[in-house]
Amino acid sequence: MLDIIKNSLKMGMVLLVICVIAAAALAQVYSVTSVIIKKNDEEAEKKKRQVVLPQAARFEEKDIEGRKYIIGYDAEDKMIGGIFKAAPKGYGGPINITAGVAPDNSIAAVVITKLDQTETPGLGTNITKPKFLDQFKGKKGSELKLKKDSGTIDAITAATISSRAVANGVRNGWEQYTKDAGEKR
Amino acid sequence: MNRWQVFINGIMKENPVLVLLIGLCPTLATSSSANDGFGMGVAATFVLIASNILISAVRKWTPDQIRIPIFIIIISTFVTIVDYTMHAADPVLYANLGVFVPLIVVNCIILGRAEAYAYKNDVLSSTLDGIGMGLGFTLTITVLGAIREIIGNGTVTILNYELINLGEGFKPALVFIMPPGAFLVMGLLIATNRLLIRKRG
Amino acid sequence: MISNDMAWYMIIISAVLINNIILIRFLALCSFFGVSNKLETSIGMGMAVIFVIVIAATASWLIWHYLLLPLKLEFLRTAAFILVIAGLVQFLEMYMRKAMPALYHAMGIYLPLITTNCAVLAVALLVIDYNLGFINTLIYSVSVPVGYTLSIILFAGIRERIDIAPIPKFLKGYPIIFITASMMSMAFLGFSHLFGL
């Protein structure tokens, strides 16, 4: 009887020691890598803002009734555009869109990186390509719809759901932006 | 089996995926491009070699009744290390592989080799076994990925570098980067490996 | 692909058909090919897997929300979940050996192998990644193994036919089985735009 207890205790101790060593190792790796991961996310965000408003020298975040925007200022501190984010539901999940709006309220540029979407590879993932996204430049309002929906944007072949999600996401975000910008600016 | 044979074994005769038919889930799921397949292969191989070494090193102090939980703790620790490291080093690959990175912990190859080999053999042999099996796994998954990617997408990418691109004129057969394509190419690869083994005698 | 605001019947349809765990999501393949050669073992495996996944997924959900998150121990997720699963399968084995000895012996090595069944750990992880609430977790964790059982039973039926069909020598055995699975997968792909999902 005492033997069984001794044996169980021994096994329990071995397990405990291994668990503690493992947990400590993991905590270490976690603290190192989470710093790098956070930095990567910040770098990616900075890059997106730069792509969408290339002439901006600095960015300032603005919050209007819970909706977040980013205003871009050039070297002379003049406002040269704003950025809004949209996350419409695509085919495989939400698509994170970053869109810049020029002072004349037309779309300056739209950027979607590979990490911003989980669409079908080879089909929906083409929404990250300039060939699709460049179509949004300079457009406003109801132009920001697919040609199938009486707009001006060509959908990607066999990826209508993904394309429509992006077009509608950009248009809805644009409408909200111009409404907020008109009142507060 | 001498040490060299242990190593070579894992690539053809006892190729974990094509012959032993283990480790199928990540092989089929992440082979829609050579890049993703290669990344998964390297990640799993790292865990396999590391676990084999550690389990073999502590086998004399591991009570038999609790060996499975100990294997699991060791393997899951390495998997978590790979998980966070990949997330930091290559976020795109990490996002493409998705849930299959933590699923390396239930990759039958790793647990299977721990039980069948590392627990019973010395550290050096276990290391070679890990390298051999890992190589067989990585080779298979990368070849599978390359075939599926070139027919299904017209490209072959590895280490985030585009090796081949068949250009705009090539109309890919999309089914190959989709689930049915995976099963199809896999079946053909198994048959091919079988023919190759038979020819070599 | 599953979000918390989906209706319950959508979750079921998505998990069983549209994103069928074996033929579309590539999980639980080892047991799929290993057990589907006989119909009885396929049904037994399906039942066992439903049991394990429901309990494992809900237990993992509780551990994540009430233990790992509050204590900021997210990085212990993989280890914690797989240990829970291993423990559960151990209990299931001990219970089945006493209460259902015939089925226990019929399933042989495949019973402890449920621990390494990717689908079990995957569902536990996915209910966290998809941010599902407790009720949706229950619905999802029942639907996924139901889809598994459906596929494995269908496949077992087909495999019994393949065994007596004339097949070229080099395709005999696993190659033709994989090619058959590829066609089943194509059939299930046909569900893909159902209800806009």
Whether residue C197 has pLDDT greater than 80: no
**The tokens of B91 are what?**
């976020």
The tens digit of pLDDT for each residue in A152-183 reads 888 888 788 889 999 999 999 999 888 887 76
Range of lowest pLDDT (A64-68, A98-102, B104-108, C59-63): A64-68
Please judge whether C75 and A29 are an interchain contact, meaning their C-beta atoms are less than 8 angstroms apart: yes
Using an 8 Å Cβ cutoff, are B129 and B117 in contact? yes
Would you list the DSSP string of A11-50? HHHHHHHHHHHHHHHHHHHHHHHHHHHHHHHHHHHHHHHH
C76 part of contact set with chain A, CB < 8 Å: yes
**The tokens of B45 are what?**
């191989």
**The tokens of A17 are what?**
């020691």
The tens digit of pLDDT for each residue in C49-67 reads 999 999 999 999 999 999 8
CA B2 to chain centroid: 24
pLDDT of B37: 92
**Residues C135, C140, C143, C148, Cα dihedral to 10°:** -150
Whether residue C167 has pLDDT greater than 90: no
3-state secondary structure chain C: CCCCCCCHHHHHHHHHHHCCCCCCCCCCHHHHHHHCCCHHHHHHHHHHHHHHHHHHHHHHHHHHHHHHCCCCCHHHHHHHHHHHHHHHHHHHHHHHHHHCHHHHHHHHHHCHHHHHCHHHHHHHHHHHHCCCCHHHHHHHHHHHHHHHHHHHHHHHHHHHHHCCCCCCHHHCCHHHHHHHHHHHHHHHHCCCCHHHC
Nearest-by-CA chain B residue for C126? B99
Section C115-139 average pLDDT: 89
pLDDT of A183: 62
Give B 4-43 residues with CB within 8 A of chain C. 21-26, 28-29
Section C116-144 average pLDDT: 90
pLDDT of C45: 86
**The tokens of B26 are what?**
């990540």
Tokens 């979750």 belong to residue: C11
As a whole number of angstroms, the distance between CA C196 and CA A160 comes to: 12
Phi-psi region of A110 (alpha: psi -120 to 50; beta: other; left: phi over 0): beta
Residue by residue, pLDDT tens for chain B (201 residues) are 566 776 676 677 778 888 888 888 888 888 888 899 999 999 999 999 999 999 998 888 888 878 888 898 999 999 999 999 999 998 889 988 988 999 999 888 898 888 888 888 888 888 988 888 899 899 999 999 999 988 888 888 888 777 777 776 777 788 888 888 899 999 998 888 888 888 876
pLDDT of B20: 80
Query: C134-162 and C174-189 helices cross at what angle (nearest 10)?
Result: 130
Whether residue A185 has pLDDT greater than 60: no
Nearest Cα neighbor of C67 from C128, C6, C129 is C128
C60 part of contact set with chain B, CB < 8 Å: no
Section A34-57 average pLDDT: 89
**The tokens of B43 are what?**
């990640």
As a whole number of angstroms, the distance between CA C154 and CA C134 comes to: 31
Q: What is the ipTM of this complex?
A: 0.83
Nearest-by-CA chain C residue for B190? C175
What percent of chain B lies above the pLDDT cut of 70?
Answer: 95
pLDDT of A15: 83
Residues in B closer than 8 angstroms to A121, CB to CB, are: 32-33, 153, 177
pLDDT of B1: 54
pLDDT of B49: 94
Section A63-73 average pLDDT: 85
**The tokens of C64 are what?**
């994540």
The tens digit of pLDDT for each residue in B74-85 reads 999 999 999 999
What mean pLDDT, rounded, does chain C reach?
Answer: 86
**The tokens of B86 are what?**
């990949």
As a whole number of angstroms, the distance between CA B83 and CA C180 comes to: 34
How many Cα neighbours within 13 Å face the side chain of A89?
Answer: 8
pLDDT of C102: 83
Residues in B closer than 8 angstroms to C171, CB to CB, are: 187, 191
Residue among C1, C76, C79 minimizing CB distance to A92: C1
Q: Pick A8 or C11 by higher pLDDT.
A: C11
pLDDT of A76: 84
pLDDT of B201: 60
Section C133-148 average pLDDT: 92
Nearest Cα neighbor of A161 from A97, A92, A113 is A92
Residues in A closer than 8 angstroms to B82, CB to CB, are: none
Residue among B84, B106, B186 minimizing CB distance to C82: B106
The Cα of A95 is separated from the nearest Cα of chain C by a number of Å equal to: 12
Q: How confident is the model at residue C123 (pLDDT cuts 50, 70, 90)?
A: very high
Q: How confident is the model at residue A184 (pLDDT cuts 50, 70, 90)?
A: low
**The tokens of A178 are what?**
């111009």
Is 0.80 topped by the overall pTM? yes
**The tokens of C85 are what?**
């699963």
The tens digit of pLDDT for each residue in A115-141 reads 888 887 777 888 898 989 999 998 888
3-state secondary structure A49-109: HHHHCCCCCEEEEEEECCEEEEEEECCCCCEEEEEEEECCECCCCECCEEEEECCCCCEEE
Please judge whether C75 and A26 are an interchain contact, meaning their C-beta atoms are less than 8 angstroms apart: yes
pLDDT of B159: 80
Residue among C1, C76, C196 minimizing CB distance to A26: C76
Please judge whether A37 and B61 are an interchain contact, meaning their C-beta atoms are less than 8 angstroms apart: no
Using an 8 Å Cβ cutoff, are B185 and B24 in contact? no
Using an 8 Å Cβ cutoff, are A56 and A50 in contact? yes
Residue B83 CB partners (closer than 8 Å, separation 6+): B101, B102, C78
The tens digit of pLDDT for each residue in B117-148 reads 888 888 888 898 888 889 989 999 999 999 99
Classify residue B104 as exposed, middle or buried by CB count within 10 Å of its CB (0-12, 13-18, 19+).
buried
Please judge whether B190 and C178 are an interchain contact, meaning their C-beta atoms are less than 8 angstroms apart: yes
